[in-house]
Structure 1
Amino acid sequence: MFGLDAFHLARVQFAFTVSFHILFPAITIGLASYLAVLEGLWLKSKNPVWRSLYHFWLKIFAVNFGMGVVSGLVMAYQFGTNWSGFSQFAGSITGPLLTYEVLTAFFLEAGFLGVMLFGWTKVGPGLHFFSTCMVALGTLISTFWILASNSWMHTPQGFEIVNGQVIPVDWFAVIFNPSFPYRLLHMTIAAFLCSALFVGASAAWHLLKGNNTPAIRTMFSMALWMALIVAPIQAMIGDMHGLNTLEHQPAKIAAIEGHWENRPGEATPLLLFGLPDMEQERTRYGLAIPALGSLILTHSVDKQVPALKDFPKEDRPNSTIVFWSFRVMVAMGLLMMLLGVLSLWLRYKHRLYVSRPFHYFALWMGPAGLIALLAGWITTEVGRQPWVVYGFQRTIDAVSAHGELHMSLTLLAFFVVYSSVFGVGYAYIGSMIKKGPQPFDELPTQGTPARPLSAAREEFDTKENV
């Protein structure tokens, strides 16, 4: 299929399923915390706007959460079906870490999700708020364990290899491996930014349609405050993550920079743009700023950054891919900071809710967080190649022995099923967003529990209960 062998088809298949799945947890993590904030504000002030927003985003959260669980199960099975070599080699590490995620995060979420979704009129307000907080905590705990497992694959420690298999000897070292703190913070804040831009774009759409209600203005304002404050923090964490990567995965940094060789006594330039050529071992049409690469990556003007030619050809990541995926991520981050700064200026001018050009900008920025997240994931994972466990197991040794026909058919099946099922899910979420938050007086205080499917179109249900 497309001239790819079974090994590369397996990689494409896993990349496809991960790319679909990662979008749902990114929104879920941020929305869960957002819901906890909304309910807490309602309990404190009894302002009906907070309650209207809570019920509006609760339904979207529920659909997104369900799709995230379904898409995540497929990835777990792929470790055994497509990457049996990896499971056999490192299953004693990744298996327990994923089990801890199920026993802590998933059970916590499942235990309180029902109360959160259906208990508004069935339990007291304190218990309901506690349930919302527990679901939010569960999403963060899930992030903790997933990132611990993934980070260990990048910076493995706390183990020894016996008879070709990894044996854990220090679980603290396994979990808190050198890259884990940076990846955990970077991913969590990325999820908050994804959700903030998603919420902000939803509000901007309503403002452009003339729906200038207190609820719409409130969620627009909250989203922009988040972008203003959190986007610069994400940039600082990204810088620290880059320094950590330079220490532990220098070949990845060289590939990201499109940097092929160092000249004696010359600081490393920063390539803004260019076309890395893996065959010719050079970056064509490069636009470079002298010494800036050394300044950013080593915080000095004389230290050199490792170059791709310092590593054997078989150990070099694909610079053509990660060079541009990294720049897409950075570009999205700069646009997020611009969005936050412009919002602050418009607040000062009292034009935040009337500036249509800015509303269009906020609307177009809706997917920017998810685009940055996917670009960052591509940079991280492609930059790790050719290793699946960095420095210890190559990706080619981790794949299962499947034929090209088998991998082609399953990839095609995934494409058809995911596009149809999750495409419908995205469309349904869009229909709920278009309906917008209901005014407080339209939300009955008694009745049957809230159902996510009651929010899309009124003809689906003649009586909506909350």
Structure 2
Amino acid sequence: MDFDALLLSRIQFAFTIAFHIIFPSFTIGLASYLAVLEGLWLVTKNEAFKSLYLFWVKVFAISFGMGVVSGVVMSYQLGTNWAVFSAVAAPVIGPLFAFEVLAAFFLEASFLGVMLFGWKKVGPRLHFLATVLVALGTLMSAFWIISANSWMQSPAGFEGTVETGLRAVSWLQVIFSPTFPERLVHMVLAAYLTTALVVAGASAYRLLRDPGEGESALALRMAVGMLAIVAPMQLLVGDLSGKDVERHQPAKLAAIEGFWETRSEQAFHIVAWPDRDIQGNHWELSIPKLGSWITGGATDAEIQGLRDFPREDQPPVLPVFWAFRVMVGLGVAMIGLGFWGAWLCWRGKIIHAAAFLRSCVLMSPMGFVAVIAGWMVAEIGRQPYVIYGVLRTEDAVSPIGAGEVSTSLLAFLVVYAVVFSVGALYILRLLAQGPVTGVHEEPPTPHRPPGWALAAAPEDPGEPGHKASDKADPNGEDRP
């Protein structure tokens, strides 16, 4: 393998974006969760919602900052490592990135200060508005980034060539490219699932240590509800997205499924070992005809195979094939965890179900793994193109040497290892501490049905007239 500037630039971009995507996929969902918590507190006056908000807003602040720092590197690399791509595509995708900064990031940044430090300085409704606007900003940011990436996956609404440069002729077609709607919903739901798993895992960890911790029990029920509803929805949206891939990127679809020959009644390969050198699979565990039914909607649907494409136009099959199965397998596990938790909630046994709580802890990082696996399917499956069918990856790299790229790659490895390890460890430390404010939930009794009801936070029996949240800050300043 020749570690030239092209390969090193691809490795560097893959490394940095894999780190970066962890934080937006978490903060998008967490910002919406915070808005829900504060809204429920305003409506119900349940102090447990406020305690949860004050706890998770600290985690959000750190994650948001780390996401901003890692995102700056993306822009840096577009200029240094992928200058040809920037020069060719900037008239089309440049405005999309600018809209993301102006309409989304500035909105988040403008109201983030109010959200973090305005708890005692502005009214509750104004503070809630700031939280909602931050959540809206994260969703708008996802809108513009997925729009730009979707245009690179299925370019539309432009004219020109690589030699003359590309120019938008229809901004509606550029922004709302053919694969954009399903991909946006798929990404937002993935962010919500990632957040739900982290909340469930952190809450389950606390409940394993203290089953009577009221806020953690409440947060766990909310996370379970999100998993039970959103995980099945994600499976359906993923199927729609897969059908878009079949229409617009047939080579990627063939790599995802390990299809080499064009034929009807394609089998679905549960596991296999694809090999582009032999243009086939070394071994397969398959279900006959299911592949055609899943991708084409009928068992006799004809699905194009990779042998119809020249080898130089085929994506790397092995990482795409297995990354897709990791993503889908984790999605099925999320559905199972959500249904399991919903059943335990219905029976009122979720707080003391040790096996389920440990499963939540084990599954807590799996949302990030699924997001990275999905990104690998989308980006590696697009190869050998940066802009599908328009600009090849080998033609998009900057005219620089391998030495310069290897130096910057080494610097990124060192900086990321130090900065992000410290940040991640601090977040884990916060999660382990939990929202400890004194709210203690009694185990369910026959006289108080557990169900899905969210009971108000009980008062501390040792201090009549004082709620647990009054003790959250010994100085009386209960702020993030």
Query: Which TM-score applies when normalising by structure 2?
Result: 0.91
User: Comparing 206-215 with 291-300, which one deviates more in the overlay?
Assistant: 206-215
Residue 78 of structure 1: how far off its partner (Å): 0.7
1:88 is aligned to 2:91 = no
Distance 2:277 2:317 in 1: 11
Q: In structure 2, what is the equivalent of residue 380 of structure 1? A: 378
User: Comparing 428-437 with 162-171, which one deviates more in the overlay?
Assistant: 162-171
Distance 1:18 1:322 in 2: 17
Written as runs of structure 1 = structure 2, the 5 A alignment for 1:202-281 is: 202-210=202-210, 212-263=212-263, 266-281=264-279
Distance 1:445 1:141 in 2: 38
Distance 1:93 1:195 in 2: 32
Q: In structure 2, what is the equivalent of residue 166 of structure 1? A: 166
Q: Deviations over 1:334-390 (max 9, x none)?
A: 100010111122123321110111111010000111111000000000000000000
User: 2:354 is aligned with what amino acid?
Assistant: R
Distance 1:211 1:4 in 2: 54
Q: In structure 2, what is the equivalent of residue 406 of structure 1? A: 404
User: 2:188 is aligned with what amino acid?
Assistant: T
Give the 3-state SS of the residue equivalent to 1:217 in structure 2: helix
Q: In structure 1, what is the equivalent of residue 62 of structure 2? A: 63
Q: In structure 1, what is the equivalent of residue 47 of structure 2? A: 48
User: 2:205 is aligned with what amino acid?
Assistant: W
Q: In structure 2, what is the equivalent of residue 454 of structure 1? A: none
Distance 1:141 1:249 in 2: 26
Distance 1:290 1:57 in 2: 47
Q: Kindly tell me the number of residue pairs found equivalent between the two proteins.
A: 448
Distance 1:425 1:411 in 2: 20
User: 2:368 is aligned with what amino acid?
Assistant: L
The answer on whether the counterparts of 1:33 and 1:133 sit within 8 Å (CA) in structure 2 is yes
Written as runs of structure 1 = structure 2, the 5 A alignment for 1:104-115 is: 104-115=103-114
Q: Deviations over 1:314-348 (max 9, x none)?
A: 11011111000000000100100010111122123
For structure 1, which runs of at least 5 residues remain unmatched after alignment? 451-465
Q: In structure 2, what is the equivalent of residue 185 of structure 1? A: 185
For structure 2, which runs of at least 5 residues remain unmatched after alignment? 438-468
Residue 449 of structure 1: how far off its partner (Å): 8.2
Distance 2:151 2:478 in 1: 42
Distance 1:4 1:79 in 2: 20
From 331, 334, 339, the equivalent of 1:333 is 331
User: 2:151 is aligned with what amino acid?
Assistant: W
The answer on whether the counterparts of 2:472 and 2:478 sit within 8 Å (CA) in structure 1 is no
1:303 is aligned to 2:301 = yes
Give the 3-state SS of the residue equivalent to 2:61 in structure 1: helix
Distance 1:80 1:37 in 2: 39
Give the 3-state SS of the residue equivalent to 2:381 in structure 1: helix
Residue 170 of structure 1: how far off its partner (Å): 0.5
The answer on whether the counterparts of 1:29 and 1:139 sit within 8 Å (CA) in structure 2 is yes
Q: In structure 1, what is the equivalent of residue 436 of structure 2? A: 438
Distance 2:62 2:211 in 1: 24
User: 1:24 is aligned with what amino acid?
Assistant: F
The answer on whether the counterparts of 2:37 and 2:49 sit within 8 Å (CA) in structure 1 is yes
Give the 3-state SS of the residue equivalent to 1:283 in structure 2: strand
Residue 209 of structure 1: how far off its partner (Å): 1.5
Distance 1:325 1:394 in 2: 22
Distance 1:144 1:14 in 2: 21
Q: In structure 1, what is the equivalent of residue 320 of structure 2? A: 322
The answer on whether the counterparts of 1:267 and 1:302 sit within 8 Å (CA) in structure 2 is yes
Written as runs of structure 1 = structure 2, the 5 A alignment for 1:22-33 is: 22-33=21-32
The answer on whether the counterparts of 1:118 and 1:449 sit within 8 Å (CA) in structure 2 is no
- Cα root mean square deviation, aligned: 1.4
Change in Cα spacing, 1:128 to 1:445, as seen in structure 2 (3 Å) is farther
The answer on whether the counterparts of 1:121 and 1:446 sit within 8 Å (CA) in structure 2 is no
Residue 211 of structure 1: how far off its partner (Å): 5.0
Written as runs of structure 1 = structure 2, the 5 A alignment for 1:414-429 is: 414-429=412-427
Residue 271 of structure 1: how far off its partner (Å): 0.9
Distance 2:242 2:262 in 1: 19
From 391, 394, 397, the equivalent of 1:396 is 394
Query: Which TM-score applies when normalising by structure 1?
Result: 0.94
Residue 164 of structure 1: how far off its partner (Å): 2.2
User: 1:194 is aligned with what amino acid?
Assistant: T
Q: Deviations over 1:246-285 (max 9, x none)?
A: 000000000011111135xx41111111110110111111
Residue 148 of structure 1: how far off its partner (Å): 0.4
Distance 2:35 2:324 in 1: 33
Residue 446 of structure 1: how far off its partner (Å): 7.6
User: 1:177 is aligned with what amino acid?
Assistant: S
Distance 2:176 2:205 in 1: 42
